[in-house]
Amino acid sequence: MPAAAGEQVAGPPSPPPRMNGFSLGELCWLFCCPPCPSRIAAKLAFLPPEPTYTVLTEEAGALCSLHLSERADWQFSERELELLEVFFVRSGRGSRLACMFARCVPECRYTLLFSHGNAVDLGQMCSFYIGLGNRIKCNIFSYDYSGYGASSGKPSERNLYSDIEAAWTALRTSIDKITKVSSPVLVIHGTADEVIDFSHGLAMYEQCPRAVEPLWIEGAGHNDIELYAQYVERLKQFIDHEIPIS
């Protein structure tokens, strides 16, 4: 029925006020009922920016290419950009994590596993990785947490633990599997390989239980190693004399 004179008609209830993205109820939980719920803790701890890069994958899914936006603030040339390898791994909680390997220094002995801050992604950090790796003479391996950059999932404490475990496993995979190889192994690597750093070949040789004498071809790169005479000569020696006859 129509409202009488002087009466006010009640409209739909107003939504509860929010402050800085938190509802009044969430603020009460935060300040009055510690420990705070994980949902609020995640909002306080994780501040993922809008992604500053994209990763394009070929149809076969084997090769990825990195494309940086202007907000990534890349500080080097296209040549240094080629030092960055990107790929994806799956965490134990189902997130598809973007990983980055920065080959900063040829023939370095160490690779640093770097977990970046809570308000940046790999696109914003990659210039820093190149500069840091050059200064401390090591390569850098990093990854984006769940919900950051090109990584799927949502930021949370539980996901964070799973993320770093997956990153650590991915970093060790060029190395650990070789210990399970029981046949004779010949490792040949160019010392000037610009795609797969020479340190990888050296690490495989040192970890392989049945490695024969390796061949390190001085000055050889990734795509011209077969042009060196000693490449074919060493392969022939391996096939003719070092593979056991069954």
Any domain includes 44: no
- Going by their DSSP bridges, the two strands 96-102 and 111-114 should be labelled as unpaired
Any domain includes 169: yes
Any domain includes 4: no
Give the per-residue pLDDT at 33. Answer: 55
Per the structure, how many domains does the chain have? 2
Question: How do residues 72-112 score in pLDDT, each as one tens digit?
Answer: 999 999 889 989 999 999 999 999 999 999 999 877 778 88
Any domain includes 39: no
Confidence of residue 12 (pLDDT cuts 50, 70, 90): low
| Rounded Cα–Cα distance for residues 5 and 36 (Å) | 49
Question: Quick one: how far is CA 34 from the chain centroid?
Answer: 35
| Rounded Cα–Cα distance for residues 99 and 142 (Å) | 6
Same-domain check for residues 58 and 136: yes
Same-domain check for residues 170 and 189: no
Same-domain check for residues 84 and 189: no
Give the per-residue pLDDT at 53. Answer: 96
Whether the predicted pLDDT of 68 surpasses 60: yes
Query: In this predicted structure, which of 102-111, 164-173, 210-219 has the lowest mean pLDDT?
Result: 102-111
Any domain includes 2: no
Tell me phi and psi for residue 66, to 5 degrees.
Answer: -100, 130
Of the two residues 69 and 177, the one the predictor is more confident about is 69
Contact 53, 66 (CB under 8 A): yes
Last residue of a domain, one of 174, 201, 229: 174
Any domain includes 46: no
Domain membership of residue 108 as a residue range: 53-174
Confidence of residue 178 (pLDDT cuts 50, 70, 90): confident
Any domain includes 206: yes
pTM above 0.75, yes or no: no
What mean pLDDT do residues 44-53 have? Answer: 90
Last residue of a domain, one of 144, 174, 204: 174
Same-domain check for residues 149 and 236: no
Q: What percent of the chain is predicted at pLDDT more than 70?
A: 79
The Cα-based distances of 144 to 31, 128, 152, 162 in angstroms read 31, 15, 9, 12
Whether the predicted pLDDT of 39 surpasses 60: yes
Give the per-residue pLDDT at 113. Answer: 92
